[in-house]
């Protein structure tokens, strides 16, 4: 005679359903805790970043080596290779704006040191073209005009000979002033976004390689907002829009062929043939010595200085 199930006991199907619900709740809780931990870590990193100035003082390259004394041997070897060509580093805050901030300071510092009036005139003309690009794309002037005006003001101020001229120390202080520094960063972000949108067919394959977003979505979510990190798409677009060649030196753990330690770099070459005289090869469009050199470590850019 078949035994009847006792009252109050769950069937196998009910037990399986309850187990499934409990497992789901455990997964949800685990995901919640993971997100909570990630948010806490992000908050800690943001708090630590705020202790670092937007633009730091120039330091000897040996200070970079000190960071990796207990770390990767290959990175220490690569820093030694770097030291053969570069003397100093200037750090920037790791807040997602480090590429634009590094470019900002390096470019203005170059103009301050070179007093190259022709270069200022050249880039001013390019800035005007960038303004027209944004207008043609439907941007209202009020959304970007203040950022453009402030950049042009900083550009003129590093040329000496007027009451508005500033010293190198004043340039450092302005670059650390959030009301100035962030506005110039936003200028670069709008210039970059405008260039990407204008040449959407060119940039689209690269963007699809990074994300599933459209060009417009990418610009809105990954270019224009403050705090969004930059990659080769951003650098290419900014270099092309302003006509400024940029060298990026990569300090990473990539292996070296034949046991020879080497440091890779990439020169971002503007499409325009109207390059600064000291950046163009005679008889050709390829730059040989970009006057802006940035050091890239995964997720971060700083400024490098040649010996």
User: Could you list the active site residues?
Assistant: 95, 98, 300
CB atoms within 10 A of CB 152: 16
How far apart CA 83 and CA 183 sit, in angstroms, is: 34
Q: Which residue in this structure is represented by tokens 């303004």?
A: 131
How far apart CA 57 and CA 103 sit, in angstroms, is: 15
SS3 call for 206: helix
SS3 call for 276: coil
Contact 303, 89 (CB under 8 A): yes
CB atoms within 10 A of CB 150: 18
Strand partners, 268: 246
Strand partners, 92: 55
- Helix axis angle for 117-136 and 232-242, nearest 10°, is 110
Q: Residue 175 has which token pair?
A: 């670059």
Instruction: Please give the helix or strand (H or E) that residue 248 lies within, else none.
Output: strand 246-250
């Amino acid at each position: 005679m078949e035994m009847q199930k006792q009252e109050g006991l769950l069937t196998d199907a009910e037990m399986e359903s309850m187990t499934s619900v409990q497992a789901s709740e455990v997964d949800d809780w685990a995901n919640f805790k993971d997100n909570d931990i990630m948010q806490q870590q992000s908050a800690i990193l943001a708090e630590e970043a705020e202790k670092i100035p937007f633009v730091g003082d120039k330091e000897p390259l040996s200070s970079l080596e000190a960071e990796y004394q207990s770390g990767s041997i290959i990175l220490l070897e690569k820093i030694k290779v770097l030291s053969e060509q570069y003397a100093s580093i200037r750090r920037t805050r790791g807040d997602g704006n480090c590429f634009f901030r590094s470019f900002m300071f390096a470019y203005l510092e170059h103009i301050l040191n070179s007093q190259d009036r022709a270069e200022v005139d050249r880039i001013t003309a390019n800035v005007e073209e960038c303004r027209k690009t944004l207008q043609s794309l439907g941007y209202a002037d009020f959304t970007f005009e203040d950022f453009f005006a402030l950049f042009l003001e900083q550009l003129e101020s590093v040329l000496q000979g007027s009451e508005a001229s500033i010293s190198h120390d004043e340039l450092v202080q302005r670059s650390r002033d959030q009301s100035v520094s962030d506005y110039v960063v936003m200028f670069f972000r709008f210039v970059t976004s405008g260039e990407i949108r204008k040449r959407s067919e060119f940039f689209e394959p690269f963007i699809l390689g990074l994300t599933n977003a459209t060009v417009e979505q990418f610009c809105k979510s990954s270019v224009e907002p403050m705090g969004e990190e930059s990659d080769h798409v951003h650098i290419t677009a900014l270099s092309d829009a302003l006509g400024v060649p940029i060298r990026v030196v990569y300090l990473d753990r990539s292996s070296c062929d034949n046991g020879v330690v080497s440091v890779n770099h990439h020169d971002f070459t503007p499409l325009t043939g109207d390059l600064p005289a000291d950046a163009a090869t005679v008889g050709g469009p390829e730059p040989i010595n970009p006057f802006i050199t940035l050091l890239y470590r995964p997720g971060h850019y700083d400024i490098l200085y040649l010996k």
